Amino acid sequence: MEGDKVTVSLGTGREDGVREVSFRVSHRPGVEYERVRELSITYDKVSGRIEARLVVEVKANPRPGTKKVALDPGETVLMAAAFEDGTVLLYSGRFIKSVRRYWQKVRASLRPNSRRWREVAHREKLQVEHLLHVATSHFIEECVRRGVGEVAIGDLCSIREGIDYGDKLNQRLHAWP
């Protein structure tokens, strides 16, 4: 990797004769990284996009503040954040639930793993990722504005494993982003 350009060898056995691919690496301004830890390149057959993800080590920034916030992730209330000053922010997850429910119904009428089924699943994934990005970005901005330096997050490890709650609750639990 030189500068902001990465070149990856594809080998010599390709039928199309392409031996390497190069691309530019872009990142947020003001972020300096020390070294590259991992590079993964994926091709999305549905959209036809090639996406590269770069995992890098960055220089640690000092905390933006000294205050704390407790964050509890949930299904209907996507995030409940309680700040030290007693303020509570609730982020609704109802819209994400409705998007997931809608696309589940659309997929139910399609042949599993068909091209159309994969397109619908991809569209659902993009919508849910966007909604999660909007909510988490707002939360982070709010933390920075309030001088929060530490976030305590509720533990949800193994919540879906080894337990059968019944058809309806299982579907809700597995649709939880």
Task: Give the pLDDT confidence score for residue 151 in this predicted structure.
Answer: 93
Q: Which long-range contacts (CB under 8 A, 24 or more apart) does 119-128 make?
A: 119/46, 122/44, 122/46, 122/47, 124/99, 124/100, 127/99, 127/103, 128/96, 128/99, 128/100, 128/177
Task: Give the pLDDT confidence score for residue 45 in this predicted structure.
Answer: 73
Distance of CA 140 to CAs 71, 86, 147, 168, Å? 11, 18, 11, 33
Distance of CA 31 to the CA centre of its chain: 20
**Structure token pair of residue 107:** 């997929």
Task: Give the pLDDT confidence score for residue 38 in this predicted structure.
Answer: 84
Give the integer Cα–Cα distance in Å for 146 and 89: 12
Task: Give the pLDDT confidence score for residue 1 in this predicted structure.
Answer: 46
Task: Give the pLDDT confidence score for residue 59 in this predicted structure.
Answer: 75
Tell me the domain boundaries of the chain. 5-58, 67-174
Nearest to 131 by CA among 171, 92, 173, 90: 92
Task: Give the pLDDT confidence score for residue 36 in this predicted structure.
Answer: 77
Residues of the chain with pLDDT under 70: 1-3, 61, 63, 160, 162
Distance of CA 131 to CAs 3, 57, 60, 95, Å? 34, 27, 28, 8
